[in-house]
Amino acid sequence: MGRLFDVIKDPKTGETYTGSGIARMSLGDLSEEDVKGLRSGSVTDPPLSHVVALARAFGVEPSYLVDGYGEAALDGEIVEALRDDTTRAIARESAHLPDRERRLVLGIVRQFEGVPSPEGSGRGASSAEGR
């Protein structure tokens, strides 16, 4: 759970979220003490409402917090990339394709590596650095 705090930054400040910030973002579902307990691991079996509130505050699915694998499904680069509407649309549409077609789409995307975009940003008007 601490990885969320390390990876997902406040888009306005670029800083990591604080316990009080997450508590405010939960709209009253979590107190600052709840967030501290969840972050430190001292709360080992939180109520489902706390898991859902924390996931909602970070913009991730609750399953990310309870999958039991401990592996981060998201890293900072992916989180930043998914802020872009076009990138999200590409991900949604390609997710429904068979594996072979997804690999073809990936190959096409990789063909554009290093090719300047029409907008002049190198990767699109509002895309993040990297993929």
Domains of the chain in sequence order: 2-72 (1.10.260.40), 75-131 (no CATH)
* Better-scored residue on pLDDT, 70 or 31: 31
φ/ψ of residue 83, rounded to 5: -75, -20
Q: List the structure tokens of 51.
A: 């898991």
- Percentage of residues in the chain with pLDDT exceeding 70? 80
Segment 58-85 mean pLDDT: 71
pLDDT at residue number 74: 59
Residue for token digits 């993040």?
Answer: 128
> Which of 48, 59, 1 is closest to 25 using CA atoms?
59
Q: What is the pLDDT of residues 90-126, one digit of tens each?
A: 988 999 999 999 999 999 988 988 777 666 544 444 4
pLDDT at residue number 67: 64
Segment 76-94 mean pLDDT: 84
Q: pTM of whole model > 0.75?
A: no
Residue for token digits 């913009």?
Answer: 59
